[in-house]
């Protein structure tokens, strides 16, 4: 990834980075406040990131980290040489970070950094590792230089396995699924929810049905919402719009109260789906909103479905 190789975005709990396309999520844990993720390729773990909601003593944490790095298992030396003064990008690259960097070489090589972010108050620890014969100094430098830890302009990037979208920053991740040919994110802020899903090999999913037929047949048993479907163009592709109301007694009482107060009714359930032939994928975005309105159009607009075919 030195300007000649393609990159793919990673977005998770406010963490963002640009990665080589063959790096995949290996492990993830925690939440928005405190968490950990590991990115692997076919050979070994490549990127590891930890974050916390408070500042840390950078020098003390770095020294503790290096001690564990060089001690190895059962106190056996690892044979690694550590450079505590390593600078693999300039201070201007991260102007609002109180930051320390270090590097090591030996049986394994790596770049590491730790920072306290002045903008969001988070602390972050990250490292990129490689084998000596790979000479991945430039790759590691570019990955760590791309790393960020908070939303921008009120929007947070979520990105995994080539699917990337923006969501309002206050929405938090609930359930998510990552299966062969399927990826789904479910986010929520109080009673507002957002679902973004992507299917691969569309011919198997549709089975000769139109998008409208597919959606209605897949959702006819739903009890949480009542909906209507209309065919329309989305993002230059064949698509559908869906809208309706949340089922149950409370939404009906809310609607009656709005009529009594002569307030403009809100659309409680809305969404859209489209088939992108260039990437041979099917996309779905759904929102449930009992209040001021989630920026549904902003989420849809942020998805670059063609980019997956080019990656």
Burial of 233 (0-12, 13-18, 19+ CB in 10 A): exposed
Helices first, then strands: H and E counts in the chain: 7, 18
Which pLDDT value is given to residue 77? 67
Is pLDDT larger for residue 264 or for residue 19? Answer: 19
DSSP secondary structure string, 129-195?
Answer: EE-GGG--HHHHHHHHHH-B-S-BTTEEEEEETTEEEEEETT-EEEEEEEETTEEEEEEEETTEEEE
Q: What is the pLDDT of the chain when averaged over all its residues?
A: 89
Average pLDDT for 258-275 = 71
**What percent of the chain is predicted at pLDDT more than 70?**
86
Reported as a single tens digit per residue, the pLDDT across 75-126 is 666 788 999 989 998 768 898 999 999 999 999 999 999 999 999 999 999 9
Kindly list the structural domains of the chain, giving each domain's residue range(s) and its CATH number in brackets, ordered by start: 7-146 (3.40.1000), 155-310 (3.40.1000)
- Is pLDDT above 90 for 290? no
Global pTM? 0.89
Here the tokens at position 154 are 């009120």
The three-class DSSP label of residue 24 is strand
**pLDDT-derived band of residue 2, with 50, 70 and 90 as boundaries?**
very low
Pick the range with the lowest mean pLDDT from 16-30, 134-148, 161-175, 279-293: 279-293
Render pLDDT for 176-208 as a digit per residue (tens, 0 to 9).
Answer: 999 999 999 999 998 899 999 999 989 999 999
pLDDT (tens digit, 9 = 90+) per residue, 229-258? 999 999 999 999 999 988 764 555 455 545
Sheet of 182-189: strand order equals: 172-179, 182-189, 192-200, 281-288, 269-276, 237-246, 225-234
Q: For residue 267, what pLDDT band results from cuts at 50, 70 and 90?
A: low
For residues 140 and 123, give the distance between their C-alpha atoms in angstroms, rounded to a whole number. 20
């Amino acid at each position: 990834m030195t300007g000649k190789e393609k990159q793919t975005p990673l977005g998770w709990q406010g963490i963002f980075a640009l990665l080589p396309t063959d790096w995949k999520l290996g492990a993830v844990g925690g939440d928005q406040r405190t968490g950990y993720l590991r990115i692997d390729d076919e050979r070994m773990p490549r990127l590891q990131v930890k974050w916390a909601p408070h500042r840390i003593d950078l020098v003390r944490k770095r020294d503790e980290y290096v001690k564990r790095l060089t001690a190895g298992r059962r106190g056996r030396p690892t044979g690694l040489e550590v450079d505590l003064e390593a600078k693999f990008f300039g201070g201007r690259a991260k102007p609002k970070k109180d930051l320390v960097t270090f590097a090591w070489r030996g049986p394994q090589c790596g770049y590491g950094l730790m920072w306290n972010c002045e903008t969001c108050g988070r602390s972050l620890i990250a490292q990129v590792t490689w084998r000596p014969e790979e000479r991945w100094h430039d790759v590691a430098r570019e990955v760590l230089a791309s790393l960020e830890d908070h939303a921008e302009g009120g929007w947070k990037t979520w990105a995994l396995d080539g699917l990337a979208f923006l969501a309002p920053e206050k929405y938090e991740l609930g359930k998510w699924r990552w299966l062969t040919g399927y990826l789904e994110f479910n986010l929520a802020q109080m009673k507002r929810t957002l679902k973004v899903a992507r299917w691969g090999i569309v011919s198997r999913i549709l089975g000769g049905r139109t998008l409208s037929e597919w959606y209605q047949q897949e959702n006819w048993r739903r009890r949480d919402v009542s909906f209507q479907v209309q065919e329309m163009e989305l993002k230059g592709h064949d698509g559908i719009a869906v809208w309706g109301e949340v089922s149950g007694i409370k939404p009906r009482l809310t609607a009656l109260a709005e009529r009594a107060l002569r307030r403009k009714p809100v659309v409680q359930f809305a969404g859209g789906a489209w088939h992108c032939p260039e990437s041979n994928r099917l996309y779905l975005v759904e929102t449930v909103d009992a209040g001021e309105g989630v920026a549904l159009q902003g989420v849809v607009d942020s998805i670059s479905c063609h980019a997956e075919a080019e990656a």
